[in-house]
């Protein structure tokens, strides 16, 4: 025999066995995976989500089993409370079902409870039967409503199976949550809903210690209304719960018109990266399952429940008995999906080590436990699987911006997925030469009106940054050859042209890509030696550039050996601010004249009339050398370099594959330099980083050097996926999104730059740390070089490994360039997030410095 205890509590003073889960500070994402947990979605409201949840609870708890089980039902958002309460419905229906089926379950014992954690003031007044005074900004109150049902004589529940039902937030009015929240002064932000949900999951799924691990737990989180119904903040629920990316089941619609609604709901979930284990719906005699199975191509099982009787007098007990087989099958499908997912996640590191060949990675230095298993990405964060004690998903900020490509926040990620799906459905892929289609045309127009404004007239599409560089070199060499009389007839190469050797003018430490031609245009480095590139010769004059950086809170100028002897007084020159470094008033300084003289002297050795070697192009990364160590080049030096080449009719190429599209705080780094190129290469952030695409922009003069009657004079270069529709569509969306103040809150009023993202005080503090050699902070980039010597310095250094592991524990995923550590965000990242990253980095620098001090002391003691 069971008896029911129904308790209404007012405040925490009387609460028993109810832990306050809502008062602690915001915590890092931690979604338990140690037990199967599923979201219950529906294609619309009133389709029976709660009946399905109840049926799953019955299948989990009311079948014979040798050991106790636990079913956790969570309802994060409830409207119409207290007259409507889905958690109360599950609680009461299962209590009745357990009584009816107990004769088939010898030695069965069930302890059930139902909690309502928080409610709006109107909902709390209705539930508690009293008036609680409200303030103008009342918000939500801790309700503390609790009821339980337990076996007679079993005060503590013993080894009974458990049904735990919880409603997290409740509002009185039976309308959409965003309306109820607004009308009852109880708006709850998405982060608060997720945080309370996470605490409930952790408390119930991980809080049982070793005993809890032995208990079989099944959990469902039931959403409110339909897939795209708004939550209490106004966000669609399919977006609200996306950070957790829990697998789900979809309660479809078996009525007339239900096929369309069910498919639309399924597509909305898949578009956002959810996995759906099964579709289930009530039978209305229309055989809706057949078109759905055909559409889903049997990838997802479709289950059909018996029709729900209109007579609810017996609380649907007979219907639940009739539906028992369907619910058992549904539960097995869900358990199978959970097992397969966990097996994949657990096996991935080992399989990856056996079959992947990772780029820029020494496999011998990557043990299996060091492999990061990324379950998904949500905006700027990785969802990372951890198999430590209890398996769970945690969150790591992608401080590599996934190799410098990423820019989307969570909203843009969804927008890009939708727009790219549209492009794929409309165009698939179509070849580009002599054709035009809307995405490519709009993308080209945006590029010429944006990053190419005022100088570029043509767009040449390709597939990646390195290829864009190869194209740019061909363009520049053709223009140089015509301007200098090396080519006189486009139909054939003359004898003189066959003897000429064209070279580039470039900078030491530059990096322009991995393809063979691009590598020839960069100085000798770890990437170009015989070990990596036996064909490399280095076809260029490579100048060692002056750099600027912050040290001890001051921006300083560092001159290469070839220059500092000429201007020793400027060697330790400091700048009053970073803005001073870019100011064009410096163009009239003595330093500018010295730069000009130095560059002219270097170029003179290739300008003789009888030589076969010519500098046919200047190629440089404007402002920042990326892969070369995140060095910031003195912009004055680069401006003078451009002017000197222009005076000698040497075409200028800007490699903006890394620096373009707001990476350095402006849409193009050329704006920072205050000068424009003849040719520029863009990729990475151009598409928001979601799909590869590159563009090489050129002036009309460059384009005209390829015009003629013969096809042989054309630029004979192209790729099967040139100008592909999906990439161009993504680029159009991203280019517009990043520069629009309505979608990118970091855009300043003038619309020409990003606001400062990195806290200047913390940046200065880090630059003064004894473990730090130099710091660069510009736009979305923060970089530091650790003070190191010998094998601890340089690209092959493992010196920073302990620091990186600690940062990953703190929720920051970063990958070094030897002893150079960088943090990279997107153009839309809030300054608050950037500040949090810097604070965590500074704290870990303290630990890093202490670790190496102790290590050095121990080493000295051992040596002595």
Break the chain down into helix, strand, coil percent, rounded to 5.
40, 20, 40
Q: What is the pLDDT of residue 850?
A: 80
- CA–CA separation, 77 vs 190, rounded Å? 11
Q: What is the pLDDT of residue 417?
A: 96
Q: What is the pLDDT of residue 496?
A: 58
Q: What is the pLDDT of residue 568?
A: 56
- State the DSSP H helix or E strand holding residue 639, giving kind and residue range, or none if neither: helix 635-647
What would the two tokens of residue 70 be?
């636990």
Q: What is the pLDDT of residue 728?
A: 98
- Sequence-ordered list of residues with C-beta below 8 angstroms from that of 108, at least 6 positions apart, any chain: 62, 98, 102, 161
What would the two tokens of residue 501 be?
């050797």
Q: Where are the alpha helices (DSSP H) in 129-235?
A: 177-183, 190-206, 209-214
Q: Is the dihedral of CA 118, 124, 128, 133 positive or negative?
A: positive
Tell me the three state secondary structure of residue 814.
coil
Please state, in angstroms and as integers, the Cα–Cα distance from residue 127 to each residue in 18, 121, 174, 480, 824, following that order.
Answer: 18, 10, 14, 82, 49
- The ranges of the chain with pLDDT < 50 are 1-26, 154-158, 209-210, 864
Q: Torsion angle, CA of 543/546/551/553, rounded to 10 degrees?
A: -140
Q: What is the pLDDT of residue 862?
A: 54
Q: What is the pLDDT of residue 359?
A: 95
- Per-residue exposure over 626-645, b if at least 16 CB sit within 10 Å of its own CB, e if not: bbbbbbbbbbbbbbbbbbbb
CA-based radius of gyration for the chain:
32
Task: Indicate the pairing of strand 140-151 with strand 161-170.
Answer: unpaired
pTM: 0.92
Please state, in angstroms and as integers, the Cα–Cα distance from residue 408 to each residue in 401, 416, 481, following that order.
Answer: 10, 9, 42
Q: What is the pLDDT of residue 2?
A: 43
Q: Where are the alpha helices (DSSP H) in 245-358?
A: 258-271, 289-296, 317-322, 324-355
- CA–CA separation, 669 vs 677, rounded Å? 11
pLDDT tens, 21-73?
Answer: 333 334 689 999 999 999 999 999 999 999 999 999 999 999 887 788 999 99
């Amino acid at each position: 025999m069971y008896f029911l205890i129904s308790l209404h509590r007012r405040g925490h003073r009387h609460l028993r066995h109810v832990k306050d889960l809502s008062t602690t500070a915001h915590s890092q994402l931690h979604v338990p995976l140690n037990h199967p947990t599923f979201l219950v979605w529906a294609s619309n409201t009133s389709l029976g989500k709660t009946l399905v949840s109840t049926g799953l609870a019955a299948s989990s708890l009311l079948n014979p089993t040798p050991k106790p089980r636990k079913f956790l039902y969570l309802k994060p958002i409830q409207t119409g409370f207290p007259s409507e309460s889905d958690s109360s419905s599950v609680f009461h229906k299962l209590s009745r079902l357990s009584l009816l089926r107990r004769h088939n379950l010898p030695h069965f014992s069930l302890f059930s409870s139902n909690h309502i954690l928080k409610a709006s003031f109107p909902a709390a007044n209705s539930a508690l039967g009293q008036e609680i005074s409200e303030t103008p900004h009342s918000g939500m109150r801790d309700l503390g409503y609790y009821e339980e049902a337990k076996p007679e004589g079993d005060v503590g529940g013993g080894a009974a199976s458990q049904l735990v039902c919880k409603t997290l937030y409740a509002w009185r009015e039976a309308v959409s949550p965003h309306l109820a929240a607004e009308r009852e002064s109880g708006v709850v932000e998405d982060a608060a809903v997720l945080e309370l949900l996470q605490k409930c999951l952790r408390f119930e799924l991980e809080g049982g210690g070793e005993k809890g691990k032995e208990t079989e737990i099944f959990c469902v989180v039931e959403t409110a209304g339909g897939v795209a119904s708004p939550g209490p903040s106004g966000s669609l629920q399919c977006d609200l719960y996306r950070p957790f990316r829990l697998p789900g089941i979809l309660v479809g619609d078996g009525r007339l018109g239900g096929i369309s609604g069910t498919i639309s709901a399924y597509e909305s979930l898949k578009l956002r990266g959810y996995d759906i284990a099964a579709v289930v719906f009530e039978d209305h005699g229309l055989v809706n399952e057949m078109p759905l199975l055909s559409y889903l191509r049997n990838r997802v099982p479709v289950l059909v429940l018996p029709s729900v009787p209109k007579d609810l007098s017996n609380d649907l007990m007979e219907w639940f008995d009739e539906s028992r087989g369907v619910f058992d099958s549904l539960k097995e499908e869900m358990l199978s999906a959970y097992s397969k997912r966990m097996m994949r996640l657990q096996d991935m590191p080992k399989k990856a080590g056996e079959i992947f060949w990772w780029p820029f990675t020494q496999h011998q230095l990557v043990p299996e436990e060091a492999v990061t298993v990324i379950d998904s990405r949500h905006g700027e964060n990785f969802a990372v699987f951890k198999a430590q004690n209890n398996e769970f998903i945690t969150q790591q900020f992608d401080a590599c911006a996934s190799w410098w490509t990423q820019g989307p926040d969570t909203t843009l990620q969804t927008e890009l997925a939708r727009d790219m799906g549209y492009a794929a459905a409309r165009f698939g892929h179509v070849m580009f030469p002599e054709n035009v289609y809307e995405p490519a045309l709009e993308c080209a127009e945006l590029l010429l009106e944006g990053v190419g404004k005022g100088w570029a007239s043509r767009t040449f599409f390709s597939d990646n940054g390195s290829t864009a560089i190869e194209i740019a070199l061909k363009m520049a060499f053709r223009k140089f050859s015509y301007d200098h009389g090396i080519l006189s007839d486009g139909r054939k190469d003359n004898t003189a042209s066959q003897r000429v050797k064209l070279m580039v003018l470039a900078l030491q430490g530059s990096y322009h890509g991995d393809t063979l031609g691009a590598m020839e245009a960069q100085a000798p480095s770890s990437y170009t030696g015989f070990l990596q590139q036996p064909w490399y010769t280095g076809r260029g004059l490579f100048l060692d550039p002056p750099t600027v950086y912050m040290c001890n809170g001051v921006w300083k100028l560092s001159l290469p050996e070839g220059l500092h002897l000429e201007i020793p007084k400027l060697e330790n020159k400091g700048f009053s601010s970073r803005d001073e470094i870019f100011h064009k008033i410096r163009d009239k300084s003595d330093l500018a004249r010295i730069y000009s003289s130095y560059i002219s002297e270097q170029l003179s050795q290739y300008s003789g009339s009888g030589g076969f070697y010519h500098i046919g192009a200047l190629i440089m990364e404007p402002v920042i050398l990326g892969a070369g160590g995140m060095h910031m080049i003195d912009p004055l030096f680069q401006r003078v370099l451009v002017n000197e080449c222009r005076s000698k009719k040497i075409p200028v190429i800007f490699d903006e594959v890394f620096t373009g599209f707001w990476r350095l705080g402006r849409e193009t780094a050329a704006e920072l330099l205050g000068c424009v190129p003849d040719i520029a290469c863009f990729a990475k952030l151009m598409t928001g980083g979601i799909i590869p695409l590159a563009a090489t922009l050129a002036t009309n003069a460059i384009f005209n050097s390829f015009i003629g009657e013969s096809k042989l004079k054309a630029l004979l270069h192209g790729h099967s996926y040139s100008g592909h529709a999906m990439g161009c569509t993504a680029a159009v969306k991203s280019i517009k999104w990043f520069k629009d103040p309505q979608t990118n809150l970091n855009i300043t009023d003038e619309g020409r730059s990003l606001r400062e993202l990195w806290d200047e005080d913390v940046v200065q503090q880090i630059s003064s740390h004894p473990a730090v050699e130099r710091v660069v902070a510009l736009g979305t980039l923060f970089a530091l070089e650790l003070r190191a010597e010998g094998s601890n310095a340089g690209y092959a250094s493992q010196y920073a490994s302990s620091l990186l592991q600690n940062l990953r524990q703190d929720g920051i995923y970063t990958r070094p360039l030897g002893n150079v550590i960088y943090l990279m965000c997107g153009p839309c990242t809030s300054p608050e997030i950037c500040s949090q990253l810097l604070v965590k980095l500074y704290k870990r620098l303290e630990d890093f410095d202490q670790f190496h001090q102790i290590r050095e002391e121990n080493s000295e003691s051992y040596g002595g």
